[in-house]
Structure 1
Amino acid sequence: MLYVVTGPPAAGKSSWIEAHAKPTDIVIDLDRITSALTGPGAPQWNQHPLHLRVAHRARYAAMDAAFELLDQLDVYLIHTMPNGKALAKYKRLKARIVTVDPGQEVVMQRIKAMRSVDMERVATRWYNARHRLPREVMPQTSRSW
């Protein structure tokens, strides 16, 4: 089964996956990939654009490989804001779309506390576009912050 986990930055998508995925599942999370590809002490969030460029390529390669194994294991994919083309592909793959959203106020507080100000724009864009996403929303906070 493919689980596509969407939601704004700092919503708790990774925490949702940690609560649901098993050790034998595949987890494709750009933050985790970037962290794995950077040196010791690199920030967990607010990564450098060059690191992100390499991480995006690794993410796409991981997605291609993991999608071929959906009949053998579960795959959890974080995709903050999938476009129509991506949603159509996920539908063909019979994905379950999970939206993690503790609410805009909570998200903006978390971004102010731990993320780059650039993420406020991403979160605002997510909230403005959320009407396009399937609605299986997880409205509760993912963990105590």
Structure 2
Amino acid sequence: MLHVITGPPAAGKSSWIDAHARPTDIVIDLDRITLALTGPGAPNWNQHQVAVRVAQRARYAAIDEATQHLDAVDVYLIHTMPSPKAMAKYKRLKARIVVVDPGRDIVMQRIAAMRSKDMERVASRWYNARRRLPRPVMPQSSRDW
């Protein structure tokens, strides 16, 4: 099964996956991919833009390959703000969509403490887009930080 994990930056999407995925599952997380492609001591977040660009290409390839094996493994995919086209693809693949959102105040506090200022804009965009969508039946919060 494909699990698409969405939510604003610093919401706890990776933590949610850590709590639910098994060692044999495939996890596609741009932050993890970027970290895997960079040298020792590279930051977990706020990575160099060239490294992120290379990781994005690897992410697309991983998505294409992993979705060919949904009968054999579960795939957990972090996609912060899927486009309507991406959502249509996920629907065709019968994906489970999980929204991780501990709330705007908590997200903004985490961004201020751990992420670059640019992530505030991404989080604001996520919340603004979210207002136009139906609310999830059961919002998913992350671990305590």
Give the TM-score of the pair, scaled to structure 2. Answer: 0.95
Match of 1:81 in 2: 81
In the TM superposition, what are the counterparts of 1:45-124 in structure 2 within 5 Å?
45-124=45-124
- Compared CA separation, residues 4 and 134, structure 1 to 2 (3 A): farther
Distance 2:24 2:140 in 1: 27
Query: What is the CA deviation profile of residues 12-66 of structure 1, one whole-angstrom value per residue up to 9, with x for unaligned ones?
Result: 0000000000000000000000000000111100111100110000000000000
Same amino acid, percent of matched pairs: 73
The size of the alignment, in residue pairs, is 144
- Compared CA separation, residues 39 and 98, structure 1 to 2 (3 A): same
8 Å CA contact 2:98–2:140 kept in 1: the answer is no
Query: What is the CA deviation profile of residues 100-123 of structure 1, one whole-angstrom value per residue up to 9, with x for unaligned ones?
Result: 000000000000000000000000
Q: How big is the alpha-carbon RMSD for the aligned residues of Structure 1 and Structure 2?
A: 1.3
Q: State the secondary structure of the residue aligned to 2:76.
A: strand
Match of 2:12 in 1: 12
Distance 1:33 1:133 in 2: 31
2:139 is equivalent to residue 138 of structure 1: yes
Give ranges in structure 1 of 5+ residues lacking alignment. none
8 Å CA contact 1:9–1:80 kept in 2: the answer is yes
8 Å CA contact 1:2–1:74 kept in 2: the answer is yes
8 Å CA contact 1:31–1:44 kept in 2: the answer is yes
Give the TM-score of the pair, scaled to structure 1. Answer: 0.95
Give ranges in structure 2 of 5+ residues lacking alignment. none
Distance 1:139 1:18 in 2: 14
Q: Look up the equivalent residue of 1:138 and give its one-letter code.
A: P
- Compared CA separation, residues 70 and 139, structure 1 to 2 (3 A): closer
Q: CA deviation at 1:143?
A: 1.5
2:62 is equivalent to residue 41 of structure 1: no
- Compared CA separation, residues 136 and 4, structure 1 to 2 (3 A): farther
Match of 2:129 in 1: 129
Distance 1:61 1:138 in 2: 30
Following superposition, which runs of at least 4 residues in structure 1 exceed 6 angstroms of deviation? none
